[in-house]
């Protein structure tokens, strides 16, 4: 087969241009493609999943609630201003007392953790390190796994589990607890759990974290992002497909200190939207407060490839 000098030059020029102009996806930290599914029980109950939401923030409801919103013409989903039409609770949903963070897996199971509110009246101390699971098919909530206590919660720190999230790349569950920590001792643990056999695959010990989430870094490696409740710093660590963390890769991503209306926010939730890092920040002082007394601020960061750091876009 023969090639003309002109065709060879054209091929070389095309390859050079492609190298120079091709999008380099390794330059930005990005979200992992979402895999979470809606629980089947929502449709079984007769609700439209697009117009419902699971919430642990209803002031007059203990536990978790399913909110059905009024459908509005011209809208595909509810907004913050959409009126609530109905609130449903399965009988088992308030058995664990007040709950906090919610996470879904790829088949629609729901995982949530307990969080005392104002007092310990409705939450059992011995269950503050228990992850609860709502079955995707029948909607029943039950204890899923009981994680160990470094030390029992006390008046100095009445909390246990604070954060939970699902890994859509390799399908692990991450959970963070501050049980046993106090003003002088940081005894918290971040657990990686295989949801199939409920076995812990790895952990980071002696670190108090609240917000946790997964994403790809600028080299397309999967990282676990976690926010300290003591400093407002957010760190990350590379996690492989077997649920093992490479502790040598732990690095500080950014800090919320000095940002926002309070200047001392901690990362309550961490998530990615494309190449944007979204952080819900709130005050945290290891004491019980009403949710209304703990306002949240949403911070939006973007990865600055040249500077190799996160830049704040806005907060509200």
Residue-level pLDDT, tens digit, the chain, 316 residues:
444 434 444 444 444 444 344 444 457 899 999 999 999 999 999 999 999 999 999 988 999 999 999 998 888 899 989 999 999 999 999 999 999 999 999 999 999 999 988 778 899 999 999 999 999 999 999 999 999 998 877 778 999 999 999 999 999 999 999 999 988 899 999 999 999 999 999 999 999 999 999 999 999 999 999 999 999 999 999 999 999 999 999 999 999 999 999 899 999 999 999 999 999 999 998 887 645 466 899 999 999 988 999 999 999 9
Number of independent structural domains in the chain: 1
214 assigned to some structural domain: yes
172 assigned to some structural domain: yes
* Long-range Cβ pairs for the range 252-258 (8 Å, 24+): 253/225, 253/277, 253/310, 254/301, 254/309, 254/310, 255/231, 256/227, 256/232, 256/281, 256/299, 257/231, 257/232, 257/233
46 assigned to some structural domain: yes
User: How far is Cα 118 from Cα 265, in angstroms, rounded to an integer?
Assistant: 20
Q: Which candidate, 25, 30, 34, places its Cα nearest to that of 216?
A: 30
125 assigned to some structural domain: yes
299 assigned to some structural domain: no
176 assigned to some structural domain: yes
Q: Which candidate, 196, 115, 191, 192, places its Cα nearest to that of 157?
A: 115
Query: In sequence order, what DSSP letters do the residues of 46-71 get, joined into one string?
Result: T--GGGEEEES--TT-SS-EEEEEPP
pTM (whole model) above 0.85: yes
194 assigned to some structural domain: yes
Tell me the longest C-alpha to C-alpha distance in the chain.
85
At 130, which CATH number? 2.120.10
DSSP 147: P
The domain of 178 spans 25-256
308 assigned to some structural domain: no
């Amino acid at each position: 087969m023969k090639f003309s000098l002109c065709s060879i030059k054209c091929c070389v020029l095309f390859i050079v241009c492609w190298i120079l102009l091709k999008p380099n996806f390794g330059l930005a930290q990005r979200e992992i493609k979402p895999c979470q599914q809606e629980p089947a029980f929502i449709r079984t109950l007769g609700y439209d999943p697009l117009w419902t939401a699971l919430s642990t923030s209803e002031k007059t409801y203990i536990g978790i609630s399913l909110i059905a919103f009024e459908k509005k013409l011209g809208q595909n989903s509810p907004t913050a201003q959409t009126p609530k039409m109905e609130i449903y609770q399965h009988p088992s949903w308030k058995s664990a007392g007040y709950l906090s963070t919610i996470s879904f897996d790829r088949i629609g199971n729901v995982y949530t953790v307990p969080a005392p509110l104002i007092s310990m009246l409705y939450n059992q101390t011995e269950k503050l390190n228990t992850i609860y699971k709502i079955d995707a098919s029948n909607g029943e909530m039950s204890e899923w796994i009981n994680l160990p206590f470094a030390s029992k919660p006390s008046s100095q720190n009445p909390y246990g589990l604070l954060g939970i999230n699902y890994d859509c790349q390799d399908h692990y569950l991450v959970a963070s607890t501050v049980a046993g920590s106090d003003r002088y001792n940081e005894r918290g643990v971040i657990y990686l759990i295989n949801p199939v056999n409920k076995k812990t695959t790895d952990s980071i010990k002696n670190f108090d974290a609240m917000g946790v989430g997964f994403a790809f870094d600028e080299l397309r490696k999967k990282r676990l992002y976690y926010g300290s409740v003591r400093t407002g710093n957010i760190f990350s660590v590379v996690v492989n497909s077997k649920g093992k963390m490479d502790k040598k890769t732990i690095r500080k991503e950014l800090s919320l200190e000095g940002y926002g209306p309070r200047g001392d926010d901690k990362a309550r939730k961490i998530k990615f939207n494309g190449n944007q890092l979204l952080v819900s920040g709130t005050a945290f002082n290891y004491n019980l407060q009403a949710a209304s007394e703990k306002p949240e601020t949403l911070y939006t960061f973007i990865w600055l490839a040249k500077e190799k750091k996160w830049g704040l876009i806005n907060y509200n």
